[in-house]
Structure 1
């Protein structure tokens, strides 16, 4: 399982400083929607400059204007962009086309999609699919625990790359490890930890099949 570090509600220097602390324990770096909204494509450019050998995901959450948003994101250094599964199908297909043109990838965020929409989207080749518990659902509705039973069986096939995002903690991480999920997107459990490097190391060791020993 890969670990994607989600960076949100930070300044660019804070995001870079924190990522340096945990770099060796994570696989992908997500430039969160809040960074992009507050600082624009500079947030993507600076993260790619600081971590050129890491996969950078720009969480654009594209709903429209796909060609433009894909172009500026990929040109800024993003290796992956996100598009909402609830976007018009032409928007999603345009993101996929732009990714092929730039030899990059697209993650389709399935937040608030119906089971019918999800089944239709699963036919899109080469996409990454993200099952997502939103921030508002976590903070306002108290829905913040991942369970293996939440993952539809249709997703868990060798032909699909599946990510899970939203409120993942060390406790819920064990559920994901046996679920068949390919990518765990982890934010606050690392970024708000008293010792982010230790938290990231623990997730990484568990993801690789080991047992964390607090040295």
Structure 2
């Protein structure tokens, strides 16, 4: 199975996000309403995008830290298919969010950013979590941190535990080959597509690289 391609709409305004997605939607499997956009414009963006693109998976990147049931319900009620829970959240928050997801026949993802452990990962699996997002942070990227063997080893272990692993954090099309031996579920690209001179071509390049290494 080919990994899916997700665009992160981390725009600061609704109008910018709509312009960006219209350019590339035919190349994209999943549309993410990024945390920045959610904070700037609110959950109405989720509702609008699901209305506009009902056949696309819509992710609300809420990075839920508390009130798992309440916030998960809020995201699903406006059309999100998936929403994210931050890895530092208490396990009761994770369980609450997962309960709502199951009732709605939708899903949550644990966002692995900052400090987390494989003991926590085992807890998430034991309560039924299926998805994790392995995240190289925006600030780490800015400080020059590159993808390396440590990342690949962690991702491989998460896959072996039975998680569907999404990978994100400044990924470029040239980075895709680094993950070719792993059963990646989703690749997320943001600025590499949105800020490209020709965004549709940039998105297509991601798809071509994915098809090249996963057959």
191, 196, 208: which is aligned to 1:193?
A: 196
For residues 152-191 of structure 1, what are the alpha-carbon distances to aligned partners after superposition, in whole Å with 9 as ceiling and x for unaligned? 4322238321111101012211112332211111111101
Q: Match for residue 213 of structure 1? A: none
Q: CA deviation at 1:146?
A: 5.5
Which stretches in structure 2 are left out of the alignment for 5+ residues?
Answer: none
Q: Contact 1:110–1:118 at 8 Å: present in 2 too?
A: no
Q: Contact 2:173–2:209 at 8 Å: present in 1 too?
A: no
For residues 35-70 of structure 1, what are the alpha-carbon distances to aligned partners after superposition, in whole Å with 9 as ceiling and x for unaligned? 110111111111112211100000000000112111
Q: Contact 2:109–2:129 at 8 Å: present in 1 too?
A: no
SS of equivalent to 1:208: helix
Q: Contact 2:130–2:162 at 8 Å: present in 1 too?
A: no
TM-score, with normalisation over the residues of structure 1? 0.90
1:124 & 1:133 partners in 2: Cα distance? Answer: 25
Q: Match for residue 53 of structure 1? A: 55
Judging by fraction of residues, say which structure has more helix: 2
1:153 aligns with 2:156: yes
1:194 & 1:144 partners in 2: Cα distance? Answer: 24
Q: Contact 1:146–1:168 at 8 Å: present in 2 too?
A: no
TM-score, with normalisation over the residues of structure 2? 0.90
Q: Match for residue 209 of structure 1? A: 212
Q: CA deviation at 1:126?
A: 4.6
Q: Match for residue 174 of structure 1? A: 177
Q: Contact 1:16–1:50 at 8 Å: present in 2 too?
A: no
TM-align CA RMSD = 1.8
Q: CA deviation at 1:117?
A: 2.1
1:62-211 map, 5 Å: 62-112=64-114, 113-139=116-142, 141-145=143-147, 149-157=152-160, 159-209=162-212
**Structure 1 stretch displaced more, 5-14 or 153-162:** 153-162
Q: Contact 2:64–2:84 at 8 Å: present in 1 too?
A: yes
